Structure 1
Amino acid sequence: MSARRHPPLKSITITPGGPYAAPQPVDGPAVCEPKGVAVGVPLAVRPGSRRDDGRRPVAWLHITAPASWSVTPSAHSWCTCGYERRAIGRAAVLQLVAAHAEHHTTCSLLDSISEGRAA
């Protein structure tokens, strides 16, 4: 039984002899460059349209309470004055919520901030 021979290749690809330059893209508009309705029509964008009213978050309370009663809830309370507390468990989280509310009345950063309808 003789070995099976493959027919010779029809064409051989010639590899380049050295480096060559890839085709360069045509210069166009920059990415995310605003375009008007028509060429030459500027967009009506007002700089600084959002005014800063000076309000900043000062104290945070983050509670993680999964829907399942078998999972233990946790909470984290912190303030820019340096107050920071963490709690794990139902009773401890309830105490932390009360302590966070108490901190709102005693913190020097929060006493000047009005809440409710007056805000």
Structure 2
Amino acid sequence: MTTRPNPAKPAPISDSGGALRVVAEGVPSAVRPDLLLDDGRRPVAWLHIAAPGRGITPSAHSWCQCGRDLFAAGQARALALITDHAQHRTSCPLRNSQEGKAA
């Protein structure tokens, strides 16, 4: 008679506590925060920087829901676009309400 468990039979569940096993043996389940909660924030502007490596031209792409869509290739131009994107965050009409400001 062998003492090894039969692979066709499920392993017995012990009452030793610990994490619940839901998916498979050894995969603990965890309570995670509800990612579908809406806090009202929406992405408005995006900046994509590609600096792939030595000898390859870096680039940057900045776009916004207000209609901004700029691309720059080369280190100096990409750095300038990154700075301009940061400045755009303070002046974009979608990010900053114009209500109550002097014309």
TM-score category of the 2 structures, normalised to the smaller one: 0.5 to 0.7
Structure of higher RCO (CA pairs closer than 8 Å, 6+ residues apart): 2
Instruction: Give structure 1 regions of 4+ aligned residues with deviation exceeding 6 angstroms.
Output: none
Name the CA distance, whole Å, in 1 between partners of 2:64 and 2:82.
13
Does residue 102 of structure 2 align to residue 102 of structure 1?
A: no
Residues 58-81 of structure 1: CA deviation (Å, up to 9, x unaligned) = 00000000121x100011000000
Pick closer, same or farther for the CA change 1:53–1:95 going to 2, 3 Å.
Answer: same
Residues 77-101 of structure 1: CA deviation (Å, up to 9, x unaligned) = 0000001100000000011001101
Instruction: Give the CA RMSD over aligned residues.
Output: 1.7
Bigger radius of gyration, 1 or 2? Answer: 1
Give unpaired runs (5+ residues) of structure 2: 1-33, 98-103
Name the CA distance, whole Å, in 2 between partners of 1:58 and 1:65.
23
Aligned residue runs from structure 1 range 38-117, under 5 A = 50-68=36-54, 70-111=55-96
Q: How many residues align?
A: 64
Pick closer, same or farther for the CA change 1:108–1:64 going to 2, 3 Å.
Answer: same
* Shift, 1:49, TM fit: 7.9
Sequence identity of aligned pairs in percent? 56
Name the CA distance, whole Å, in 1 between partners of 2:87 and 2:62.
12
